[in-house]
Structure 1
């Protein structure tokens, strides 16, 4: 099954008894709006946001029904601080604030974000209409953090001229790579998503000859073929974004990156958005990029691309998102209190971290940095499954 033939998620068969997901593996459209928001102070704002969760799917249906062939969709994500504020415990097992990565030369910052709206369609006008209706529903309850309007660039090229997303998992493999299963049953059918905005130095990039650009990326520019292992540099973008479990299976995420640009201001960028069943898989890929594998052997593409944002969100299943309108449906009399949750979180090793000396505080996996805990991706990616620009 190819990405273009994946049916709407309402018609997709997932694991038996698993709640239907939000459209995290919906095919990439020709346009997307990426909107990051903070929740305004006060109980009224919190109530408005919860009500929006219950009505989000209806908004998509109302707008999308006008031109259903344009495949309008929206994914709603919730940040760690927002979850604690709105719903308390229990909480998704791996939801946390995005961890800043500081390498010897490049930095992946951690930036605020309570809510993510990832809106996709085949036209900008459909994205705009749904974004406008969503913001009307949230009026007075949220404050803007960032908004990026992405577009498909020719044959899915990134702003640096290479095809992006070639090795995304597809079909059932994509569902297995992105959807939480029995490892966290209360939140089954959900997902995690990390977003980053990258700005490119196109002047410096365009000064490189094509052959050198191909060595930076690890693929050919014209026909999008991965370079042979004996040619592909170890610090190429592709090489550093292949990670494996202890059995040699590559760990997958699903990326829906799009380029964006404002030529009059000389602003050219890539909006990275990666969905995963366990955010530690994406974090490991980013660790390889920014800190290096081994440390110091960082992704050379970062010499031309600067990360200016970084936020992690939990994406509830569709049923859970709607149920959250009335508060946390999983909370009960025996739910742990906030102090107990904080104590547990503090005692859990960080999946990806760097010491002040730059040494990775993570275990090892087939000779490369890896997680202290077991990662459950459920699927495998193909070589060159890179997450960022």
Structure 2
């Protein structure tokens, strides 16, 4: 694979302690479309301007476009595997598709950096877009999700992270790009905390304190870790890169996880969702869904940093 042709966006950057996720729809009219296209050439400069104020803050912004937005803004050619979010579901469980044309994944080690960059970006986009979801995420203790288990343990690192997340020669016009799928989950913490630690561990498939995966002999086949482990036809594991963030409003009783997964193709993430929501085999669904409800879902293509800038003139 040759990924030296185009520079990726900051997909494989280190996980930070803060993030803002903004999902927006593109408003009608040629003027709105042109504003977004012009912004494609400006966003890297905005990140540099804000990030320079705190050089150690690790500020980045990843920009993704939905299938519909790509067609409207940029036309052909288009990324080979870009399509609308595919819904999955079984009895009492549903992964819904919800509106979203533009995804902004802003992250840094300080929330003020994320906040400032989001403010500057939205000032430029103005009434060209309508924000349909905005989540401020935070790192929870030692990389734990809101339900108390460490999140992202099996993320690939280094060269493996690049190989699993960055498009290569299979779609040469879009090398250096990536696919990203996002969902917002809300958790029933009263019911979850009513389980014993041992019961929670069987749901997740890992120990809670030490974050060690349960032995296959005792790990249930409907545990979260069992159903989200994907292998290819050769028996090799196919990984994705997760940068999930907890969020919540304790006063409103809202406790959630913003799931965000990057991959070289949407296929492995979609297979995970099918395993979780439909079951493997069907009916053997992810028991975590007895306590967690997906309320949003959308899929985007993240062009390379070089292509993002070029798209302003397409």
Structure with greater strand percent: 2
The bucket for the TM-score relative to the shorter chain is over 0.9
1:237 paired residue number:
224
2:298 paired residue number:
311
1:28 paired residue number:
15
Across the aligned residues of Structure 1 and Structure 2, the Cα RMSD in angstroms comes to 0.8
The alpha carbon displacement at 1:140 in A equals: 1.4
Q: Deviations over 1:17-55 (max 9, x none)?
A: 431100001111110000000111111100100011111
The alpha carbon displacement at 1:243 in A equals: 1.1
Which of 63, 74, 82 is matched with 1:76 structurally? 63
The alpha carbon displacement at 1:151 in A equals: 0.1
1:100 paired residue number:
87
Stretches of structure 2 lacking an aligned partner (at least 5 in a row): none
Q: Is the 8 A contact 1:18 1:181 kept in 2?
A: no
The alpha carbon displacement at 1:104 in A equals: 2.5
In the alignment, is residue 321 of structure 1 matched against residue 308 of structure 2? yes
2:38 paired residue number:
51
Q: Deviations over 1:206-247 (max 9, x none)?
A: 000000000000000011000000110000000001111111
> d(CA) in 1 for partners of 2:200 and 2:86?
29
Q: Secondary structure at the match of 2:71?
A: helix
Which of 98, 109, 131 is matched with 1:144 structurally? 131
Matches within 5 A, 1:157-236: 157-236=144-223
Q: Secondary structure at the match of 2:299?
A: strand
1:282 paired residue number:
269
Q: Secondary structure at the match of 2:34?
A: helix
**Greater Rg, structure 1 or structure 2?**
1
If asked which structure has higher relative contact order (CA below 8 Å, sep 6+), I would say 2
Q: Is the 8 A contact 2:2 2:169 kept in 1?
A: no
> d(CA) in 2 for partners of 1:136 and 1:175?
32
> d(CA) in 2 for partners of 1:222 and 1:202?
18
1:119 paired residue number:
106
Matches within 5 A, 1:245-284: 245-284=232-271
> d(CA) in 1 for partners of 2:103 and 2:233?
33
The alpha carbon displacement at 1:102 in A equals: 1.7
Q: Is the 8 A contact 1:25 1:175 kept in 2?
A: yes
Q: Secondary structure at the match of 1:295?
A: coil
> d(CA) in 2 for partners of 1:87 and 1:29?
31
